[in-house]
């Protein structure tokens, strides 16, 4: 192991070699700080009790699209806390400040957060208003139930696996167990991590397949989970019960 | 499509049926709000210019572990902005407030953020101090270079694909192109999205394979990317160039 002192000196003298990261430092530094005021506007709705990966997975990928701004939006500006209360993401805009979006994404949450959003007329009215002008209105996980509560689901959708029958009985839409389901301009994604697959698909719709593939490599999305337990259709009842118990006990 | 009014009424009267989400409402509500003061402590270091998915993917999964708290930590409390400046995640603790962690995770960033952290003696000293008592010290993406700058890498590691040769020449460790690489108690993950695979592996080390599988199902991690472009070893030079250009141009 290199000694700490040597390592530090090496680092300090090697900053000039930062291009070795493979990232074109010159290009990045030549940019004007801050995003252009125009360009594609992608908005992600945060609300109390959302699940962290639902908005942040898609935001990571979609923020790599050319000439695109991703904005976290909530009923009020400020930090919005997740279902476990472990983490807060900043909402940079309130819904009152956002009239138009090219793409809207509604993430999912645990029970408390999902029901809270489904019963919040300010959020539902805003979702409906924004949807009038979007190119794509999208959801991840139980975000589909919130789109349903806003009256925006059509014939087919996906959602979190454990919410499938609730989706069908409450909104009269057919649950399709795919990673994402497009029905008109509404695209719903399955649970939590499916937002990443949705984001790649959305990137291809917005900028074509080559850019989407570039983004996939940019985030090294070559998934190799150490286990093969993420599919509810093949999971045992015991594993489903364990998954739901882990969720319930981690949520506050 | 159901009318908005009907949908809303349906939602309001169906809250009692929220158990249909599959999440045990009763159990969750019976919990005392807030995390227990004790339990396993997992800390994630944020710093200006980090890449959003690097900390949030693992945080989503690891926050589902029983009796575990995940805390976002930075040099100072408050919002910490990503490399694209699109999103800020709240740091709930400053490094000065955290003396011990069971698990430390250091996320990656673009050039600016990575070099900034590698040159920040406050962060490097804190990482070394925390590492003395951790069970696992981990990184995602170019977070490995920050562990290297802190003198903590040993013989083998992984990192973001474009940083592989920098890792080898600067720190004298062998780059292993796997999703995650364990070397002693140091576990490094490949780029950005690999943090999710790392988190599942880490969950299995901390709580056993059955809990890890439960977490995988809880976040429906059954990845099905629409393209197969996430592996640098098989990517064309043109796609690599495109990926790095999308990164450079999205960073500010």
Task: State the Cα–Cα distance between residues B34 and B6, nearest whole angstrom.
Answer: 36
Instruction: Name the 3-class secondary structure at A45.
Output: strand
pLDDT along chain B (252 residues), means of 10: 37 39 39 53 98 98 98 98 98 98 98 97 98 98 98 98 98 98 98 98 98 98 97 98 97 90
B141, B164, B192, B206: the catalytic one is B141
Distance from CA of A205 to the nearest CA of B (A): 12
Q: In this complex, is the C-beta atom of B103 within 8 Å of any C-beta atom belonging to chain A?
A: no
Do residue A218 and residue B243 have CB atoms under 8 angstroms apart? yes
Q: Is residue A104 in a domain?
A: yes
For residues B99 and B228, give the distance between their C-alpha atoms in angstroms, rounded to a whole number: 42
Report the sign of the C-alpha dihedral through residues B185, B190, B192, B195, in that order.
Answer: negative
Name residue, tokens 């695209």.
A187
| Residue of B25, B58, B247 best to disrupt the A interface, most CBs of A under 10 A | B247
Q: Name the catalytic one among A65, A70, A141, A167.
A: A141
- In angstroms, the separation between the Cα of residue A233 and the nearest Cα of chain B is 10
pLDDT of residue A38: 61
The span from the CA of B190 to the CA of B164, in Å, is 10
Q: Is B182 left (phi over 0), alpha (psi -120 to 50) or beta?
A: beta
From chain B, pick out residues whose CB is under 8 angstroms from the CB of A179: 222-224
Mutation target to probe the B interface, by most B beta carbons within 10 A, among A175, A230, A244 is A230
With a cut of 70, say whether residue A29 has pLDDT above it. no
Chain A nearest CA to B135, separation (Å): 19
A29 within domain boundaries = no
| Cα–Cα distance, A164 to A48 (Å, whole number) | 22
Contact B11 A118 (CB under 8 A): yes
Residue A5, pLDDT > 90, answer no
Distance CA A24, CA B38 (A): 44
What CA–CA distance (Å, rounded) separates A144 from A148?
6
Query: Do the beta carbons of residue B113 and residue B84 sit within 8 Å?
Result: no
Contact B57 A59 (CB under 8 A): no
Nearest C-alpha in B relative to A79: B90
Q: Which of B8, B220, B235 sits opposite A232 (nearest CB)?
A: B220
Residues of A in contact with B92 (CB under 8 A): 87-88
Interface residue A30 vs chain B (CB under 8 A):
no
d(CA A75, CA A48): 10
Query: In the structure, what pLDDT confidence band is assigned to residue A252 with cuts at 50, 70 and 90?
Result: confident
A80: helix, strand or coil? strand
Which residue is associated with the tokens 């944020």?
A: B46
Its domain, for residue A192, covers 36-222+233-250
Please tell me whether the overall predicted TM-score, pTM, comes out greater than 0.95 for this model: no
Question: What confidence tier does A8 reach under pLDDT thresholds 50, 70, 90?
Answer: very low
Whether A25 maps to a domain, the answer reads no
pLDDT of residue A9: 35
In a domain, A3, yes or no: no
Please judge whether B191 and A219 are an interchain contact, meaning their C-beta atoms are less than 8 angstroms apart: yes
Check residue A141 and give left, alpha or beta (phi > 0: left; psi -120 to 50: alpha).
Answer: left
Inspect the interface and report whether the beta carbons of B223 and A151 lie closer than 8 Å. no
Q: How many Å apart are CA B108 and CA B116, to the nearest integer?
A: 11
Per-residue pLDDT at A89: 98
Rounded CA-CA distance A47/A66 in Å is 27
Distance from CA of B99 to the nearest CA of A (A): 18
Q: What pLDDT, on the 0 to 100 scale, is given for residue B252?
A: 85
Number of structural domains, chain A?
1
Those residues whose C-beta lies under 8 Å from the C-beta of residue A19, and which sit 6 or more positions away, are: A25, A26
**Which CATH number does the domain housing residue B142 bear?**
3.40.50.880
| Residue carrying the six token digits 């495109």 | B242
Contact A80, A91 (CB under 8 A): yes
List the beta bridge partners of residue A29. none
Nearest CA in chain A to B216: A230
Q: Which residue, among A231, A55, A57, A228, has the nearest Cα to B195 in the 3D structure?
A: A57
Residue A87 lies in a domain: yes
Does A210 reach chain B within 8 Å, measured CB to CB? yes
CA–CA gap between residue A157 and residue A145 (Å, rounded)? 10
Q: How far apart are CA A129 and CA A138, in angstroms?
A: 14
Average pLDDT over residues A85-112: 97
Tokens of B81: 């902005």
Q: Is residue A47 part of a domain?
A: yes
Least confident stretch, A13-22, A33-42, A177-186, B231-240: A13-22
Cβ–Cβ of A239/B227 closer than 8 Å? Answer: no
Q: Please count the CA atoms within 13 angstroms of the CA of B132 that sit on its side-chain side.
A: 8
* pLDDT of A17 strictly over 70: no
Examine residue A9 and state whether it is found in any structural domain, yes or no.
no
- Is B104 among the catalytic positions? no
B116 part of contact set with chain A, CB < 8 Å = no
Among B56, B154, B165, the residue with its CB nearest the CB of A56 is B56
Q: Do the domain assignments include residue A89? A: yes
Inter-chain CB proximity B170 and A204 less than 8 Å: no
How close is the nearest chain B Cα to the Cα of A85, in Å? 7
pLDDT of residue A2: 36
Q: Which of B54, B181, B207, B246 to mutate to test the interface with A (most CBs of A within 10 A)?
A: B246
Residue B38: the pLDDT is: 61
């Amino acid at each position: 192991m290199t000694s700490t002192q040597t390592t530090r000196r090496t680092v300090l003298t090697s900053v000039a070699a930062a291009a070795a990261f493979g990232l074109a430092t010159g290009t990045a530094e030549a940019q004007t700080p801050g995003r252009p005021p125009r360009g594609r506007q992608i908005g992600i709705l945060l609300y109390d009790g959302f699940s962290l990966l639902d908005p942040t997975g898609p935001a990571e990928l979609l923020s790599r699209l050319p000439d695109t701004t991703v904005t976290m939006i909530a009923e009020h500006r400020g930090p919005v806390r997740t279902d476990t209360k472990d983490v807060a993401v900043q909402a940079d805009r309130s819904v009152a400040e956002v009239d138009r979006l090219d793409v809207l994404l509604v993430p999912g949450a645990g029970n408390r957060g999902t029901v809270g959003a489904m019963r919040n007329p300010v959020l539902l009215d805003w979702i409906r208003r924004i949807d009038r002008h979007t190119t794509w209105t999208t959801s991840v996980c139980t975000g589909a139930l919130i789109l349903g509560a806003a009256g925006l689901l059509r014939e087919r959708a996906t959602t979190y696996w454990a919410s499938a029958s609730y989706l069908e009985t409450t909104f009269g839409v057919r649950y399709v167990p795919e990673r994402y389901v497009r029905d008109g301009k509404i695209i719903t994604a399955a649970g939590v991590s499916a937002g990443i697959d949705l984001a790649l698909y959305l990137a291809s719709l917005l900028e074509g397949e080559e850019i989407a593939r570039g983004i996939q490599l940019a985030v090294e999305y070559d998934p190799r989970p150490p286990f093969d337990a993420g599919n509810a259709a093949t999971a045992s009842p015991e594993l489903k019960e364990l998954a739901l118990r882990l969720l319930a006990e981690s949520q506050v």
